[in-house]
């Protein structure tokens, strides 16, 4: 199936995180194999971010709220059904309540939706979940960075930094996955019984501190350091992730290169 034949509504639902897990995993697999389809998804994401960043949002005026309240009070005292205009009054009541309900639903949806729906964060969590389910956790199993780093460098357009261990976390291997619109390195560490996926790719942003968030029951830490974006995804305690990324960010100079 070509990307041109793909239902654009399904692509939009994918970008908005509205597909169920099997559909999302199937589409992510196609994105990794079809650059044209991945480009269409990136276009949708860019358009959404453009609208979100530049669209004008306006609070409903106080006069509208007052009109709704006035309509509610007026409709609270309805004439008996036997009066000729009872149908009209009931219709007014239904219209007023319908409008109020519509506004309440719109407010509720906007208040429950996260302020930012980071598509990168969604991609990384989906990758971790998919890999943890046993489909493909590790492509190159090794605790030796001298084995893992050349393997990754031969399959990517950059050479990621790799450390054998970062604090209590020990390198178990690596894989190449697709996230942020590109193939990326995933360093797989184990800390006791926990698996930690560390995604790393070149970044243009300035160095930043570690930020921690959560999605779908998983904890995610992010930082930019040494020209690389670092993301750690795991079910370990969130306070343990910053130390891990800080340790990885202290990789000696020259261990990671943007290009080859």
SS3 of 114-126: CCCCCHHHHHHHH
Answer yes or no: do 94 and 146 share one domain.
Answer: no
Which tokens hold the place of 211? 């930020």
Query: Could you tell me if residue 37 is inside a domain?
Result: yes
> Hey, how many other C-beta atoms are within 10 angstroms of the C-beta on 254?
8
Are 196 and 190 in contact, with CB atoms under 8 Å apart?
A: yes
Nearest CA-CA partner of 210 in 223, 200, 201, 219: 223
Answer yes or no: do 132 and 184 share one domain.
Answer: yes
Answer yes or no: do 138 and 244 share one domain.
Answer: yes
Answer yes or no: do 102 and 123 share one domain.
Answer: no
Answer yes or no: do 128 and 241 share one domain.
Answer: yes
Q: Which of 3-12, 140-149, 239-248 shows the lowest per-residue confidence on average (mean pLDDT)?
A: 3-12
Answer yes or no: do 133 and 210 share one domain.
Answer: yes
- Domain range holding 90? 65-112
Answer yes or no: do 49 and 128 share one domain.
Answer: no
Answer yes or no: do 186 and 93 share one domain.
Answer: no
pTM: 0.55
pLDDT band of 116, cuts 50, 70, 90:
very low
Query: Could you tell me if residue 137 is inside a domain?
Result: yes
Task: Give yes or no for residue 126 having a pLDDT over 70.
Answer: yes
Number of structural domains (the chain) is 3
Displacement of CA 151 from its chain's centroid (Å)? 28
Query: Could you tell me if residue 24 is inside a domain?
Result: yes
């Amino acid at each position: 199936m070509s990307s041109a034949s793909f239902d654009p509504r399904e692509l939009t639902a994918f970008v908005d995180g509205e597909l169920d897990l099997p559909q999302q995993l199937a589409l992510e697999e196609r994105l990794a194999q079809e650059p044209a389809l991945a480009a269409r998804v990136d276009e949708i994401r860019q358009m959404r971010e453009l609208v979100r960043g530049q669209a004008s949002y306006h609070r409903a005026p106080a006069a509208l709220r007052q009109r709704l309240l006035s309509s509610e009070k007026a409709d609270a005292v309805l004439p008996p059904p036997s009066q000729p205009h009872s149908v009209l009054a009931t219709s007014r009541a239904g219209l007023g309540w319908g409008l109020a309900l519509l506004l309440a639903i719109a407010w509720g949806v906007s208040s429950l939706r996260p302020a930012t729906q980071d598509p990168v964060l969604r991609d990384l969590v989906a990758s971790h979940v998919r890999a943890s389910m046993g489909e493909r956790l590790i492509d190159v199993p090794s605790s030796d960075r001298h084995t893992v780093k050349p393997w990754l460098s031969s399959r990517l357009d950059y050479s990621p930094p790799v450390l054998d261990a970062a604090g209590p976390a020990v390198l178990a291997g690596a894989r190449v996955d697709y996230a942020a619109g590109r193939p990326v390195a995933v360093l797989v560490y184990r800390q006791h019984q926990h698996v930690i996926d560390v995604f790393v790719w070149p970044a243009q942003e300035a160095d930043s501190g570690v930020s921690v968030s959560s999605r779908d029951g998983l904890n995610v830490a992010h930082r930019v350091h040494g020209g690389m974006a670092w993301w750690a995804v795991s079910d370990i305690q969130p306070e343990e992730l910053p130390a891990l990324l800080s340790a990885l960010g202290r990789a000696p100079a020259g261990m990671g290169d943007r290009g080859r």
